[in-house]
Amino acid sequence: MFLTEISITRSVQTMRMIGKPTSSLLLLLLLLFLPAISATAQPFACDPADSTTKTLSFCRTDLSVKDRVKDLMGRLRLQEKVKLLVNNAAGVPRLGIRGYEWWSEALHGVSNVGPGTKFGGDFPGATSFPQVITTAASFNASLWEEIGKTVETDIWSETKNDTLLSSSSPTYWSPNVNIFRDPRWGRGQETPGEDPVVAGIYAARYVRGLQGSDGGDRLKVAACCKHYTAYDLDNWGGVDRFHFNAKVREQDLKDTFDIPFRSCVKEGKVASVMCSYNEVNGIPTCADPKLLRRTVRGAWRLNGYIVSDCDSVGVLFNNQHYTSSPEAAAAAVIKAGLDLDCGPFLAVHTENAVQKGLVSEAEVSEAVANTVTVQMRLGMFDGEPSAQPYGKLGPKDVCSTSHQELALEAARQGIVLLKNDGPVLPLSRRRHPSIAVIGPNSDVTLTMIGNYAGVPCGYTTPLQGLGKYTRTVHEAGCADVACANDTLFGGAIGAARQADATVLVMGLDQSIEAEFVDRAGLLLPGRQQELISKVASASKGPTILVLMSGGPVDVSFAHNDPRIGAILWAGYPGQAGGAAIADVLFGTHNPGGKLPMTWYPQEYLDNLPMTTMDMRADPSRNYPGRTYRFYKGPVVYPFGHGMSYTSFVHTIADAPKAFSVPVDGRHHSNTTTVSSMSIRVNHAKCERLALRVHVDVKNTGSRDGSHTLLVFSSPPGGDWAPQKQLVAFEKVSVRAGGQQRIGVSIRVCKYLSVVDRFGVRRIPMGEHGLHIGDARHAVSLEAQTIGVIRS
């Protein structure tokens, strides 16, 4: 927060003591105070009214950021630098720099998790979008970016203008782009799912929206991709994230876990990367120079700062016992490339580490320079905040009608129709004048927004949403999702017997899956399954099951039960979730969501420790493999599954049967370039190398609808290559009876390559099978040597 002002806060508190003022009176008093606030507001640094600092070089906006940072670093003392290495960075009063809180969150809307953001007064809340796993199900990259832009507007509205009644920092530690590797992971809901291509595109597009994509080096907001890397276990089987050593093959690191982060840095131009709690192959990620300095900063060329997960520097010393002294721990992380500690550890121990010769002051200065550079790119050293770009945003721009409509549309697009026998759906007001609405999630609010959420603008529960279409009879059936007994079953069964249709809203919540809460299994909790089956058996009309969850649920019983006509997955659909569910059930919106993760049967877990990181199946030890890319066993619903109220047919209109991959002749040899009929990616001429495919998508049904075109490739390459991998996806809307031709560009080096056992990315030569719905096409890749071949 850049400004502090208490006079209006005290005035509002006084009015509350006297009596509740009318909204018009409160607005009048706010307007009377605003001119005084603007006049007395204090910038974070470089106050133009401060004659002692306004002429200093680091305050001169006509100089480059690099020169300004260099000037500031030359003025800071070691004792001041170490206090800038932590999230609650201390001020430097002699240089006119105020203290700053780095930690804020914006996973799917401005969150009040983290001390950098507080709601209240003129900013009682902000738009709460669906949880990320739900938004990912839309497979709509432009939607992801638009949500980022909307969240950025909320942030600036709360940061740059009337901050006396709120507190907000422009550095936000979001998004979470870890791979949803294991279906039990409690934080899988925060991620874009199990596919690295989807996660990478989500990362880049959300970050672009959040940070702004106006060009240049200026930032509107500084986003952060987390948690790097191979982090997807919180607390399972007696192992927690503070003590977990993820043993990861180089192959899996390169072709799965690192892909979203690489995309986030190289394509999203993210301003920050957060290292995780866990160790990777025996080294804490925040102390691993190979990961931080050589990969994130070096190979990917991060233009920003690297921050630790909160207290993870303390964890690597106190819990993982990685070093023999706290000073050695401070030195290890700074040398590895860490710039900022979410926690107090570096502020306490770094100065002693310098004095002991474990780390140099120059290395400390490098870390501080990286964080200060981001602050300058944010305009925090440019004087009066309200005079800067976007500085005029205010309360009117938060929870606006357009923002709330986008939250509703995002929820609609994320809902996945899993089953629709008959078809039972959509429901009709005429045929279904009354509906029994049953289940522990049927009238919830907080459950809909998932974790890392803030205070929404308002809620529409499923019961409220359905009530706008028809008369409802409500029975909870279970007191909560734990559903420990059948005490409330009778009322639910009775309601189903009387109503014209029954909607059961069941599933999970944060008591079952959350940060530090991994699931024990994949079945519905407690006696939910029993309730569903008994209600379906008694229901006079059709029975529809709606599931709220972040992770997959084994609902094989419901899929196979003819009395349950339809199943919807809503994820955690955000503040407007109930309205979106109702719109889909009654056909106002034609569902088009697709599952961003595989739904496995409970038996999948029989020989699958959550601590085993291997992605590829190993039949010799009965290890099934993970995600649709490597698992070949039975599923409840596959990755990419999702139905519509209409039907689509794909036809490949144009695609090459052969495609040449140019190889730099200077690198050509039988040993370094072509191995088992594959080409190393770094030896191919990859720039603008793309394979173009044109697909006709025809809507053969009677309803307009949106459709997700998923393009998979099955590469040659033996048992170490994925059985198939997503190489492109497009969202398309097609009117009933209409047809659209979609051009898909597949970047050969990026999407048709695979990673071998040694961690080397290669392009397999030979036949690649493209799969688009029921359509199939084979294209043969052939090497073409260009330039001088040296023997």
The helix or strand, by DSSP H or E, that contains position 82, with its residue range, turns out to be helix 78-82
Q: Using CB atoms within 10 Å of the CB of residue 607, give its burial: 0 to 12 exposed, 13 to 18 middle, 19+ buried.
A: exposed
What strands lie across the sheet with 501-507, from one edge to the other?
416-420, 564-569, 543-548, 501-507, 434-438, 471-475
User: Mapped to the 3 state alphabet, what secondary structure does 594-643 carry?
Assistant: CCCCCECCHHHHHHCCCCCCCCCCEHHHCECCCHHHHCCCCCCECCCCCE
Q: Using CB atoms within 10 Å of the CB of residue 402, give its burial: 0 to 12 exposed, 13 to 18 middle, 19+ buried.
A: exposed
Tokens of 439: 């289940």
Contacts of 63 (CB under 8 A, 6+ apart): 57, 71
Torsion sign across C-alpha atoms 628, 631, 632, 638 = negative
Q: Report the distance separating Cα 747 and Cα 765, nearest Å.
A: 15
Task: Return the SS3 of 326.
Answer: helix
Q: Which amino acid is at 38?
A: S
User: Mapped to the 3 state alphabet, what secondary structure does 19-69 carry?
Assistant: CCCCHHHHHHHHHHHHHHHHHHCCCCCCCCCCCCCCCCHHHCCCCCHHHHH
Tokens of 717: 């390459």
382 labelled catalytic: no
Tokens of 675: 């191995």
Q: Report the distance separating Cα 785 and Cα 791, nearest Å.
A: 14
Polymer length in residues for the chain: 791
Q: Report the distance separating Cα 381 and Cα 395, nearest Å.
A: 24
Task: Return the SS3 of 407.
Answer: helix
Buried b (16+ CB within 10 A) or exposed e, 259-291: bbbbbbbeebbbbbbbbbbbbbeebbbbbbbeb
From 122, 154, 195, 309, the catalytic residue: 309
- Per the CB < 8 A criterion, the answer to whether 749 and 683 are in contact is no
Q: Report the distance separating Cα 561 and Cα 554, nearest Å.
A: 13
- Per the CB < 8 A criterion, the answer to whether 57 and 376 are in contact is no
Q: Report the distance separating Cα 608 and Cα 426, nearest Å.
A: 39
Active site residues: 309
